[in-house]
């Protein structure tokens, strides 16, 4: 390729086999690009006597001051009317971004589309992305890492990858819920998890298992079932638990919606909550305290989590500093346990 044919960032990107946004950052010494990549791209530009056109550079580097909240089409619908956690964390994200002068854009993506991130990021429609890992495939996280697009995820970070996250203290949450049930004299404690391959769920199960083992008990696999955090999956999971473990006298559910569903199944079967079977949920969404039987649950500060997702992403965009933050949880005791 001659010097005359190297006239745009796109030409440099083709020579370097990287995206246009990577070239743009490298030529402007962005800390988001590794030193090796930055020096390689700058060497190619120098070799071909490439000079950035100032108006074009300003256009390519313009900031939209907009952050995309990404909802993939795989898994349960994040915006189902019953998903109060979704709306509560969005409220925190929105207020956090607003305080920093940013707007929020909700982006619904096809999980089979490999170009959506480029179209939003390279066109400068958004400055970064917020993901909910329990609703997001690992491929989506890896796609954004490969694109070197700024993003942050709610949930436990994938091992061997370096990116920003905010999550609750899930191990402690599982521990507190199960310890409470043990301390109130419960002998057969069930576990209703979210998706089994979700690291967040695995950490909550770890807390559950640790509490049982500390009390001199073992984990009975007949007492463990999984759902997807939804009310419907809570119904199915509780029905399975009762069929597998007729002596069950307590259950720890990984979401308040699944816990409320479990209470319905128990009561429809002629048993009482908490007298016969105690129930503990997770999240402390608003409906937990207003349910017909107010729910004992593990409270996550959902609004704070949303604000941290916003603040830490903007900090990463401005400084390149990767943060992995865990927010505290607490047990809230109400009538269900």
Per-domain residue ranges for the chain? 3-60, 66-167+302-327, 170-300
Query: Taking residues 79-89, what's their average pLDDT?
Result: 72
**Fold match between 66-167+302-327 and 170-300?**
yes
What average pLDDT does range 208-235 have in this prediction?
A: 96
Q: 125 versus 175: which is more confidently predicted?
A: 175
* Non-local CB neighbours of 182 within 8 Å, separated by 6+ positions: 189, 211, 212, 215, 217
Q: How is 4-26 classified by DSSP, letter by letter? A: GG--SHHHHHHHHTS-HHHHHHH
Structure tokens given for 290: 């207003």
Q: What is the pLDDT of residue 59?
A: 43
Kindly report the average pLDDT of the chain as a whole number.
87
Q: What is the pLDDT of residues 149-188, one digit of tens each?
A: 899 999 998 888 889 999 999 999 999 999 999 999 999 9
pLDDT score, position 77: 54
Distance between CA atoms of residues 67 and 310, nearest Å: 9
Which fold, 3-60?
434 Repressor (Amino-terminal Domain) (1.10.260)
Residue reference for tokens 């949880």: 329
What local confidence, expressed as pLDDT, does residue 2 receive? 47
By the 8 A CB rule, do 274 and 336 touch? yes
Homologous superfamily assigned to 170-300? Response regulator (3.40.50.2300)
Residue 109 in this model has a pLDDT that exceeds 80: no
pLDDT per position as a tens digit, 276-331: 999 999 999 988 888 889 999 999 999 999 999 999 999 998 888 999 999 999 99
Give me the CATH code for the 66-167+302-327 domain, please: 3.40.50.2300
11-20 average pLDDT score: 87
């Amino acid at each position: 390729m001659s010097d005359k044919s190297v006239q745009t960032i796109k030409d440099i990107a083709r020579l370097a086999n990287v995206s246009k946004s990577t070239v743009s950052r490298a030529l402007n010494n962005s800390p988001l690009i590794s030193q090796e990549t930055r020096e390689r791209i700058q060497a190619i530009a120098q070799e071909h006597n490439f000079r950035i056109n100032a108006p074009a550079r300003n256009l390519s580097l313009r900031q939209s001051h907009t952050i995309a909240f990404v909802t993939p089409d795989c898994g349960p619908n994040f915006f189902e009317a019953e998903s109060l956690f979704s709306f509560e964390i969005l409220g925190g994200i929105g207020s956090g971004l607003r305080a920093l002068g940013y707007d929020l854009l909700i982006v619904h993506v096809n999980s089979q589309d490999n170009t959506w991130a480029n179209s939003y990021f390279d066109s400068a429609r958004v400055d970064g992305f917020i993901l909910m890992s329990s609703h997001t495939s690992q491929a989506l996280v890896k796609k954004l890492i490969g694109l070197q697009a700024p993003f942050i995820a709610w949930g436990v970070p994938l091992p061997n990858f370096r990116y920003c996250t905010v999550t609750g203290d899930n191990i402690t949450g599982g521990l507190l819920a199960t310890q409470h049930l043990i301390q109130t004299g419960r002998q057969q404690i069930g576990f209703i998890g979210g998706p089994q391959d979700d690291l967040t769920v695995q950490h909550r199960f770890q807390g559950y298992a640790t509490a049982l083992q500390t009390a001199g008990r073992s984990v009975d696999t007949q007492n463990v079932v999984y759902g997807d955090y939804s009310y419907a999956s809570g119904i199915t999971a509780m029905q399975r638990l009762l069929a597998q473990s007729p002596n069950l006298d307590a259950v720890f559910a990984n979401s308040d919606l699944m816990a409320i569903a479990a209470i319905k199944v128990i009561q429809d079967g002629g048993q009482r909550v908490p007298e016969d079977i105690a129930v503990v949920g997770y999240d402390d969404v608003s409906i937990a305290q207003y349910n017909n039987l107010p729910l004992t649950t593990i409270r996550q500060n959902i609004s704070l989590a949303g604000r941290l997702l916003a603040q830490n992403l903007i900090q990463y965009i401005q400084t390149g500093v990767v943060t992995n933050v865990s927010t505290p949880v607490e047990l809230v005791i109400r009538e269900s346990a």
